[in-house]
Amino acid sequence: MIRSAATPLREVILEGIGNLQALRGRTRLALVGIAIGTAAVIAMLHVGHNARAEALRQFEALGVDLVGITPRGDGLATTGLSPDLVRELPARGLGLAEAIPLIGSGGVMRVGRSVIHASVVAAADGLYGLAKAPLASGRRTSDLDRSAPFAVLGVDLAQEVGAAAGAPVQVGQTVTLDDQALTVVGVLAATPSNPILGLDLNRSVVLPFAAARRLVPDPQITTVAARLAPAADDQATARQVAAYLQARLRSGTVHVQTARQLIDGLEEQMRIYGLLLVGIGAVSLVVGGVGVMNVMLMSVLERRREIGLRLALGARRRDIRAMFLTEALILAALGSLAGIGVGTCAGWAFAHLSGWTFLAAPLALPLGGAMALAVGLFFGSYPAERAARLDPIAALRTE
């Protein structure tokens, strides 16, 4: 009876599984090695992919049209970036729809015997919408407040002040900041940190822009929070704004950074980190491959008489080679399947503990499986070649 090409292959696979079962303990150790290596690769891919997705999600929540403008003095004189110059930027056709000057500094709040360090931000009322800062209670500071000693506290700062005072912060309460008495007119809800503008409003005291003189003798604009006009190109806008302001500064320079530029830089960093993580996982996988090679070499040594008998009965050397390669690939395939499951669970657990929404990395399944099979093929080749080159007469004389 003529047998199909699929029948010998099925027999080889079944025989390979039986031979591996006979090795028992060594087979299990090799499977564990491949599984751990594959799990490391899969977990690293999932962690890197979810970290990148979470970072991009945070940027998208803040707004991909944000622009941060930072004047940098030369240390000898102020830049001369005036509030009027900033406020007229949207009308200059540079690609900005909104521009808000900010004066940032640090301050110390004294509550009883406690000393609390806080960031101070003096800004126009447009900052709240630009930074997407919701209120928990009270109202926002307003341009109509002029230089009035009104303040809005960030949620973390308000909690710390309340803990020190022994009672929650209330609207209308007076707090002391650098020996200046300020009236709390509002408390912010939790607000995401804004790396584009360099703001963490959760630990900040927000004042009306004109009230900065109460705390800073010579207040200078430290940052400009801006938003791109609809359909404006972020790179062209950054160049135009930088050139426009640079021509009007008394000294120093100005740095313009858009959200899209920051996202592009973040994606490049995440790509590098992802390759590094995969490389670390690949080292673990190679260690598992060494275990496969050891198992196969021991199998060759223990089955010398069997190999010699097969060759004497007419088996070709490529048949012997295929038999041992098949066993190595079976080991790698079973180990990679277990590793993919463990690595996916580990990636999900990391995302869950970090408070992220788990997203499976698209390359995790194919890349992890392919790497495991490649390692099995590579480390199984030498034992298979060694078995195929045995002298059948010498092998049959083996005790």
pLDDT tens digits, 94-145? 999 999 999 988 889 988 888 899 999 999 888 998 888 899 999 999 989 9
**Enclosing H/E stretch for 371:** helix 364-388
As a whole number of angstroms, the distance between CA 100 and CA 360 comes to: 40
Q: What is the pLDDT along the chain (399 residues), one digit of tens a residue?
A: 333 344 465 665 666 565 665 556 567 777 777 888 888 888 888 888 888 787 777 767 677 788 888 888 665 555 668 888 888 999 988 999 999 999 988 889 988 888 899 999 999 888 998 888 899 999 999 989 988 999 999 999 999 999 988 899 999 999 999 888 999 999 999 988 888 888 889 999 999 999 988 888 778 888 999 999 988 888 899 899 989 888 888 777 888 888 887 777 777 777 777 777 777 777 777 877 887 788 788 777 777 787 778 777 777 888 788 787 887 888 888 888 888 888 899 889 988 888 888 888 888 888 777 877 788 888 888 888 888 887 777 766 665
CB of 282 closer than 8 Å to CB of 336? no
How many residues are present in the chain?
Answer: 399
DSSP category for residue 215: T
Whose CA is closest to 178, among 107, 280, 236? 107
Task: Provide the pLDDT for residue 297.
Answer: 82
CB 251 within 8 A of CB 73: yes
**pTM of the prediction?**
0.64
Q: Give the tokens for residue 199.
A: 């703001």
Q: How far is the C-alpha of 374 from the C-alpha of 38, rounded, in Å? A: 12
- Pairing, β 204-208 against β 114-123: parallel
CA-based nearest residue to 107, from 270, 216, 248: 216
| pLDDT value, residue 397 | 67
Cβ pair 101, 124 in contact under 8 A: yes
d(CA 293, CA 303): 15
Q: How many other CB atoms sit within 10 Å of the CB of residue 347?
A: 25
Asked if 34 and 289 touch (Cβ cutoff 8 Å), the reply is yes
The DSSP code for 224 is: E
Q: Which two tokens stand for residue 260?
A: 């899209």
pLDDT value for 4: 39
